[in-house]
A = this chain, B = another copy of it.
Amino acid sequence: MAAKLTEGERAEHLPALESAGWSMVEGRDAIRKRFTFRTFVDAWGFMSRVALAAEKLDHHPEWSNVYRTVEITLSTHDAAGLTALDVKLARRIEALVG
């Protein structure tokens, strides 16, 4: 089972994600980012790629879509907080939009 990130791991990994637009969710040990695309089709294409990456990692986002925007929240349910899996999925998501 994934363990919650230590303070050292947070200091190592979170700043780069925060620079990329991820922020801590208020009241939860989770990170969130909103992505905006040109059209619904573009947003859906992005979601499809994230879905495949998530399934491959066996780690899934909490996410919502309203027309051309997608909001993704990452946290590890089993650990009740951020783990290395969230960092890994966030990085893969960033690689998809990069």
* Interface 0/1 of A53-92, CB less than 8 Å to B: 0110000111111110000000001000000000000000
Closest residue on chain B to residue A45 by CB atoms: B51
Residues of A whose CB lies within 8 Å of any CB of B are 40-41, 44, 48, 51, 54-55, 60-67, 77
Identical copies of this chain, number: 2
Q: Which of A51, A63, A67 has the most CB of B within 10 A?
A: A51
Closest residue on chain B to residue A54 by CB atoms: B40
Closest residue on chain B to residue A77 by CB atoms: B67
CA separation between A67 and B55, bound complex, in Å? 10
CA separation between A61 and B55, bound complex, in Å? 23
The answer to whether A40 and B60 have CB atoms under 8 Å apart is yes
